[in-house]
Amino acid sequence: MQNNIDSSLYPTTNGVGDFVRSMLSAQSAELVNNVLAIIAILMVVALSPVVLIWLERKVAAHFQARLGPMRVGWHGMLQPMADGIKLIFKEVLKPEGADSFIFFLAPILPATASFLVLTVIPFDHHLQVTDLPAGVLYVIAVSGLGVMGVLLAGWSSNNKYSLLGAMRSGAQMISYEISLAFLMLLIVLLSGTASLREIVFSQQGTVMDWWIFKFPVFGFIAFVLFLISSTAELNRGPFDIAEAESELTGGFSTEYSGISFAMFFLAEFVNMFVAAALTTTFFLGGFLSPQFGIAPLDQVLNMVPGFIWFFLKSYVVIFIFMWFRWTFPRPRVDQLMDLEWKILLPLNLLIMITGGIFVGMGWV
């Protein structure tokens, strides 16, 4: 098994890779290959918010018995483009008394953090910028950067609403990061590796070998906890207490306009995609096609490329995120903290211990 994985690691063996290698020396070929992978991921990053914004508005609209954007493009497909262009051409205002440098730095940070996380996510057998041996640690470390942007934005805006929103968001994201880290470490414990690629390969086999099912009952609980923690980490409804439109008007982004606001908007959706991608990688077998142990069906499913499976699974998770948002009311800030520290964290520890026992006894 181990050898099998090694042989499929970089440098890639796809058509483009072969062509590049035949033209260049091994080292520069790898460089070019990585640049191509980065470009591919940038494309994903640039396109996914566009798709997601449209999807969010349509999903919300249909949940709410209406149509949503209809006038630009087929069923409003171009709506995110219109929003984006409009925001780019809109005046950028800086409130009096705001700290200029931090005020304009802050919107860049959350998006950057999520871009960085994308580098280690395996989209397909060969579609990954780099596979770090300690990929999980990297993800935990880098995603923590996102909260910096929110905190700085709230602090530098010179607005009480922003500050309140930022403080709420800081408390919330730091708390839920613990939960998320524990759940990621659980998967590391179960699969015995911290490389995201190998975590995916540890779920090879049928659907029942995905960590959501392979680790009986607790795997599913862990999956649900991961979804809840991710939603909180994303600052998305119902846990959008940092933005809390009805309480704090716009929370940390109250004073942002034009392109600065667009960056926050973009980061929100890239973040959502990242969270969904991580959920897929950790619990839903990543790019592996679902296998049901029925030979003819499995062969058909195997013919579909891995990245399609990856995106399908991610979008299912994204749909669940949207479902959350458009159904539940928002908890209060102290209730949210209660949920994390009094319910989720003890539950996580319990699952960790159970996971340790399972691994120790060789049951998984």
State the residues that interact with other proteins by CB under 8 A.
Answer: 57, 60-61, 63-72, 76, 78-79, 81-93, 160-161, 164, 237-238, 240-241, 244-250, 253-258, 261, 326-335
How far is C-alpha 93 from the geometric centre of its chain's CA atoms? 30
Burial annotation 241-254 (CB, 10 A radius, 16+ → b, else e): bbbbeeebebbbbb
Q: Residue 59 or residue 196: which is nearer to other proteins going by CB?
A: 59
Q: Is 185 exposed, middle or buried (0-12, 13-18, 19+ CB in 10 A)?
A: middle
Give CA–CA dist 143/233, Å, rounded: 9
Q: Residue 71 or residue 360: which is nearer to other proteins going by CB?
A: 71
Least distance in Å: CB of 181 to other proteins? 25
Sign of CA dihedral 86, 116, 122, 201: negative
Give CA–CA dist 343/224, Å, rounded: 13
Least distance in Å: CB of 240 to other proteins? 7
Least distance in Å: CB of 316 to other proteins? 20
Q: Residue 210 or residue 252: which is nearer to other proteins going by CB?
A: 252
Alpha helices in the chain (DSSP H): 2-7, 15-23, 26-63, 79-88, 100-105, 108-118, 135-143, 145-156, 160-191, 196-201, 211-214, 218-233, 245-248, 258-283, 295-303, 306-325, 333-338, 345-361
Least distance in Å: CB of 19 to other proteins? 36
Least distance in Å: CB of 106 to other proteins? 14
Least distance in Å: CB of 155 to other proteins? 15
Q: Residue 68 or residue 144: which is nearer to other proteins going by CB?
A: 68
Least distance in Å: CB of 94 to other proteins? 10
Q: Residue 69 or residue 146: which is nearer to other proteins going by CB?
A: 69
Q: Residue 18 or residue 245: which is nearer to other proteins going by CB?
A: 245
Q: Residue 118 or residue 242: which is nearer to other proteins going by CB?
A: 242
Asked whether 156 and 98 are in contact (CB, 8 A), the reply is yes
Q: Residue 6 or residue 91: which is nearer to other proteins going by CB?
A: 91
Burial annotation 8-41 (CB, 10 A radius, 16+ → b, else e): eebebeeeebeebbeeeeeeebbebbbeebeeeb
Least distance in Å: CB of 334 to other proteins? 7
Q: Packing angle between helix 218-233 and helix 345-361, nearest 10 degrees?
A: 140
Least distance in Å: CB of 83 to other proteins? 5
CB atoms inside a 10 Å sphere around CB 335: 11
Q: Residue 68 or residue 290: which is nearer to other proteins going by CB?
A: 68
DSSP 208-230: GGSHHHHSTTHHHHHHHHHHHHH
Give CA–CA dist 87/53, Å, rounded: 14
